[in-house]
Amino acid sequence: MKVLFVCAENAERSQMAEAFANHYGQGKIEATSAGTMPKSEVNPLVAEAMQEKGIDVSKNRPRLVTNKMVQEADMIIVMGCNAQGFCPAPLLNKVVDWGIEDPKDKPIEKVREIRDEIERKVKQLIEESETRT
């Protein structure tokens, strides 16, 4: 199953979700992430929080969401930022909104809480995908 995680900047939540999905879902999920207004780099606090889990996202580069990414995805997960500029209306059958708080400008403690919530949701997504196949 191909999953596309989308948020506005592709510098925080969607990067964490992609990294967890590819880490835990090897052979089950192929994840990518993108943003509607990508930043130039991943938030350093997000990189630090992910490193604590043994996953390095520090060299990842935020990407702009493309029509091709959207078309190729079996499921699109928006992270709760309403992915500004991204209108999922024609794709509602494959769009899910996780409604996750934005870690931007938050202290590392809050970033860790958000990271852990994303990790739980990704693990649940993988479990659910296994029961569908």
CATH number where 90 lies = 3.40.50.2300
Residue 92 has pLDDT above 70, yes or no: no
Total domain count for the chain? 1
- Distance between CA atoms of residues 115 and 65, nearest Å: 22
pTM across the whole model = 0.91
Strands, E assignment, 16-130: 30-35, 75-78, 95-97
pLDDT mean across residues, the chain = 90
Residue pLDDT, tens place only, 8-60: 899 999 999 999 999 999 989 999 999 989 999 999 999 999 999 999 999 99
pLDDT confidence of residue 96: 87
Computed on alpha carbons and rounded to an integer, the radius of gyration of the chain in Å comes to: 14
Packing angle, helices 44-51 and 108-132, rounded to 10: 60
Residue 133 has pLDDT above 70, yes or no: no
Residue 82 has pLDDT above 70, yes or no: no
pLDDT confidence of residue 104: 92
- Distance between CA atoms of residues 116 and 46, nearest Å: 12
Domain residues for 106? 2-132
CB 7, CB 78: distance < 8 Å: yes
Phi, psi of 112 (to 5 degrees): -65, -40
